[in-house]
Amino acid sequence: MSKQNNIVAPVKATTQQFVEIEAVDDDVLLMSDRRCCCIIESSGVNFQLLSPDEQQAIIFSFSQLINSLSFPIQILILSKKTDIFSYLNYLNTLNQQNEKMITYLESYKEFIKNTVRQNSIIEKSFYIVIPFSPLEMGAVALKKTDPAYVFARAKASLYPKRDHIVKMLEKGGLGGRVLKQQEIVELFYNLFNPSQTGRRLAPINTYTNFVVTK
């Protein structure tokens, strides 16, 4: 009798293996290859509605920011459709006693609905990413893979750059806000789950396991 070979199902890679994020500490994101970064969210302006002088001031401030850099940055623009239906549901919960206000509110809701039918309402978010390369730690330090050590070295390098970017954004009237752990996790959660864009997560320290694990 010939020995029957048992068919063993191949081990399939999980989705988490394609996610390069390993951990987030304070406002620093750590990747699996020991790269790190800080993320700054900048407010947007409607450039077309500004006066010519204001437009020139914005352009000059942005050129000052670019020319002041002695390190690389990444400018990321995320576009997504605005969930206008949740806003309409909120309007429906408003109780008005004044007849004139009720009429105004109904007219406003119809205006919103007609606007959405004719045009797509796009919400844009602007981010500046400041990277940290493990090569900055030196050849000897590259052998140290302890996340705490990498975070310490990354923060020492990133924080002066982060403060400079925020200062220049505020000087140009754009404003800059450094994303913290909770906001970074929510940002990437929504990027990896586009069908749940805009979802807010419970406080990260309340989870019994990582949101993304290997």
pTM of the model: 0.71
Q: Are strands 122-132 and 28-31 parallel, antiparallel or unpaired?
A: unpaired
DSSP 149-160: HHHHHHHHHHHH
Collect the ranges in the chain with pLDDT lower than 50: 1-3, 213-214
- Do 105 and 97 contact (CB within 8 A), yes or no? no
pLDDT reported for residue 214: 42
pLDDT reported for residue 36: 94
Q: Cα–chain-centroid distance for residue 142?
A: 28
For residue range 102-161, list pLDDT tens digits in order. 788 888 888 887 777 767 677 788 999 999 998 888 776 666 678 888 999 999 999 999
CA distances from 185 to 29, 121, 181, 193, 208 (A): 9, 25, 6, 12, 15
